[in-house]
Structure 1
Amino acid sequence: MTDTPADRLARQMAFLVEADRLKEIFRQTLNSQSRRQENDAEHSWALCLFVMTLAEHANAPVDVLRVLKMLLIHDLVEIDAGDTFAYDTSRMADQHEREARAADRIFGLLPEDQAHEFRALWDEFEAKTTPEARFASAVDRMQPMLLNCLTEGAAWRKHGITRERILERNAHIAEGSRRLWEYASTMVEQAVAAGHVPAK
């Protein structure tokens, strides 16, 4: 049965109200000026700005609008699943399962066609098999690295994260953009040299 226009709008508004909760999900990275924890909505905005600014550095030409759509929705699942710190290996064990359940619920609030589109974009981001998903993933990893460098390695130091772990965890940035990975690697080496992150 097809939704009436009023039903469709009601479902879309319910989704948008739910999505507003993303502002309350806080990450380990700190904002560069206030030094308070960044929230997921701020992170998503920053990623979109990264894409608009840096898309020319993707390894392959990308559909920028598709990348932006992916990045605007990819962390909505954290409303239910919470933010999983990039170096928390125990929480990563069931991360995809928790987030997939959240994707079912949150995208399921939308009218069927939009629910299908948003879930397909989320699945594409997770699979990282398209140039768009690989570039989206690259900026998703690079942005918190930049914040850590701008805050003297605050989150890295808090959790005892070493240069080796940072480089290992983020190396797949190169799959989306070799140029961004070179830049990010240089940032990390500068952080090590400044004493903001241990080499080992």
Structure 2
Amino acid sequence: MEDLKKQIAFITEIDKLKYILRKTKLINSDRQENDAEHSWHLAMMTIVLAGHSNEPIDVLKVLKMVLIHDIVEIDSGDIFLYDTSKNHTNTEEETKAAQRIFGILPTEQAQELIAVWEEFELGQSAEAKFAKTMDRLEPLLQNASNNGGTWKEFDVPYQTVHDKKKVMALGSSEIWKYAEGILNDSVEKGILKK
């Protein structure tokens, strides 16, 4: 019963993810996406697109990664990918958040989820590379569908977008090729400045 109480407390705590707004807006919409919607969408994308991974992957592990990767933002807030004042990498603040939030769970589960979160952050395993591909693809699709979205709103040039997105090739060269096509089309349409 004690483990169940801790698990319910964790489930209650992560409901806060629904209130963390991202800069990107939903596809063909003017409403900002929240972190819970983002994580759900990445999970669905993983199920649908897993066959395009460069390497064989454990899909369940990738699903865990994409569902938990932003939970730390309950404490640390969302860091915009193109933010020039704050680095979009694992910070001390995010590590403390992971320890606190996952630490609500029974010890064994907490350790497992922290390890999965850290593996995602490192981005070295086949699963982490593919999860990061999903994480970079979704906002690209959103911005392309929204007449440039945050690229336009924050005056982000093509090269910056390209440099931040090219990590996708590590998880799926095929998806990266598709994404590059979207970036090039966006430049031609004038919604992304070269």
Q: Secondary structure at the match of 1:196?
A: coil
Is 1:63–2:81 an aligned residue pair? Answer: no
Give the root-mean-square deviation of aligned CA atoms. Answer: 1.1
CA distance in 2, matches of 1:170, 1:35: 23
Deviation at 1:96, TM superposition (A): 1.7
Which ranges in structure 2 are unaligned for 5 or more consecutive residues?
none
Q: Secondary structure at the match of 1:29?
A: strand
**Where does residue 189 of structure 1 map in the other structure?**
184
**Where does residue 18 of structure 1 map in the other structure?**
13
**Where does residue 85 of structure 1 map in the other structure?**
80
TM-score (norm 2): 0.97
Contact 2:28 2:142 in 1 (8 A): no
CA distance in 2, matches of 1:89, 1:125: 22
Deviation at 1:94, TM superposition (A): 7.5
CA distance in 2, matches of 1:94, 1:183: 25
Q: Given the superposition, is the C-alpha separation of residues 91 and 191 from structure 1 closer, same or farther in structure 2, using an over 3 Å criterion? A: same
TM-score (norm 1): 0.94
Find runs of 4+ consecutive structure 1 residues off by over 6 angstroms: none
When the two structures are aligned, how many residues end up with a matched partner?
Answer: 194
Residue identity (%): 45
CA distance in 2, matches of 1:93, 1:68: 21
Deviation at 1:89, TM superposition (A): 2.8
Is 1:111–2:106 an aligned residue pair? Answer: yes
**Where does residue 32 of structure 2 map in the other structure?**
37
Which ranges in structure 1 are unaligned for 5 or more consecutive residues?
1-5
Deviation at 1:129, TM superposition (A): 1.2
**Where does residue 146 of structure 1 map in the other structure?**
141
Contact 2:80 2:88 in 1 (8 A): no
Deviation at 1:191, TM superposition (A): 0.8
